[in-house]
Amino acid sequence: MCIPGTARSRYINFYTDFAFKKFFGTEANKDLLISFLNALLELDGDKAIADLTYMNTEQLGFTNTERRAVYDVYCMTIGGERFIVEMQKAKQDNFRDRALYYSSFAVQEQGQKGRENSQPWDYRLSPVYVIGILDFLMDDTSERSGHMITKVQLKDDLNEVFNSNLNFIFIEMPKFRKRETELETFMDKWLYAIKNLGRLEGRPSGLTEAVFKKFFEVAEIAAFSETERYDYEENLKNYNDWFSVMNTAKNEGIAEGRAEGLAEGRAEGLAEGEAIGIEKGRAEGRMEGELAMLTKLVLANKGKGKTSSEIADMLDVDIDLVEDILNGKR
């Protein structure tokens, strides 16, 4: 049995930055992204996306003091629809706000283009989609336990769509638990391939479509060049280090929180104090662990000659945070 997601596996781990960009961020494989988006949006026939143009993934603010945004994948259809596709490996505070902030660049640039052409702009916008493939749960609530794809639009107080041009779609991959024999839709097949890629030893018999034949061919580590293999192994190491430290920080935070909670519990009630302490420990442990891990990975990759933009892209964080760490401000 292969170890999932390691270089000894037959296929690469989709959740690494290397794999995500190889599948969805390269001109040679954009048919994979087109297929995925059509399945996600349930588009077919004349409404299906036929082609995409990749766009600059680094968006600058209007001034030097404004924060930038670095997308994983940014592309546009023939009709002008814009897609920001992100792989989010770990839960971050305010990730919803981050998605909203990212969408603002794709909206603003449409107005800029009108001014550059010296034409009066009527404020007509092409749709913007922000799609997040999440390797974590957005909310730990029972009400959302079986709801893995969340679609968000602007709605009014009567729950009617106010404007359909701004769309957010979040896919919570941990909630996908279907086995190969349970796959019903084309989107099911995509989610199964994405989630299980690193542990599979061959293309599943149920994924017969040509797009999946190519998907698994692109994923095969044995076909990589020496440079590609090295880049993937480095990226995979960063991925595994990140989760190792996050788990350690979480466990240490819970243990510390439990101890504090027990002490507070003597005065406030044992059970309540323990619960408060555990929750406090989770939050503090997560924050300290994230910063320590980020600092370690940022400095390690800088030592390998990576740019701030490349590091931010690889670690799925804001470029400004990377530069703060490099400048000793964190």
pLDDT, mean of residues 8-35: 95
Do both 101 and 206 map to the same domain?
A: yes
Domain annotation covers residue 11: no
pLDDT beyond 50 at 134: yes
pTM of the predicted model, to two decimals?
0.76
- Residue 200 pLDDT class (50, 70, 90 cuts): very high
Do both 201 and 299 map to the same domain?
A: no
**Which of 40, 57, 54 is CA-nearest to residue 105?**
57
Domain boundary among 208, 223, 238: 223
Helices (H), 165-208: 186-196
- Residue 257 pLDDT class (50, 70, 90 cuts): low
Taking only the tens place, the pLDDT of each residue in 261-307 is: 555 555 555 555 555 555 555 555 555 656 776 787 778 777 877 77
Do both 145 and 257 map to the same domain?
A: no
Domain annotation covers residue 140: yes
Do both 40 and 151 map to the same domain?
A: yes
Taking only the tens place, the pLDDT of each residue in 58-93 is: 876 555 555 667 889 999 999 999 999 999 887 777
Q: Is the dihedral of CA 160, 164, 169, 175 positive or negative?
A: positive
Do both 189 and 234 map to the same domain?
A: no
The pLDDT value recorded for residue 1 is 35
Tell me the residue length of the chain. Answer: 330
Domain boundary among 189, 223, 257: 223
Domain containing 247: what range? 228-326
Domain annotation covers residue 1: no
The pLDDT value recorded for residue 224 is 96
Do both 174 and 256 map to the same domain?
A: no
**Which of 288, 293, 287, 285 is CA-nearest to residue 250?**
285
Do both 239 and 155 map to the same domain?
A: no
For 121, the token pair is 């702009």
Domain annotation covers residue 59: yes
Q: Are 284 and 253 in contact (CB under 8 A)?
A: yes
The pLDDT value recorded for residue 3 is 44
| Rounded distance between C-alpha atoms, residue 220 and residue 17, angstroms | 16
If one compares 144 and 89, the residue with the highest pLDDT of the two is: 89
Do both 71 and 97 map to the same domain?
A: yes
Kindly report the CA angle at 97 between 312 and 100, in degrees rounded to 5? 90
Q: Is the dihedral of CA 104, 82, 146, 196 positive or negative?
A: negative
For 320, the token pair is 């400004």
pLDDT, mean of residues 108-121: 70
Domain annotation covers residue 5: no
Most confident by average pLDDT, 117-126, 127-136, 142-151: 127-136
Domain annotation covers residue 152: yes
Domain boundary among 223, 250, 281: 223
Pairs from 268-274 (Cβ < 8 Å, separation ≥ 24): none
pLDDT, mean of residues 229-234: 93
- Count of the separate structural domains present in the chain: 2
Q: Are 14 and 21 in contact (CB under 8 A)?
A: no
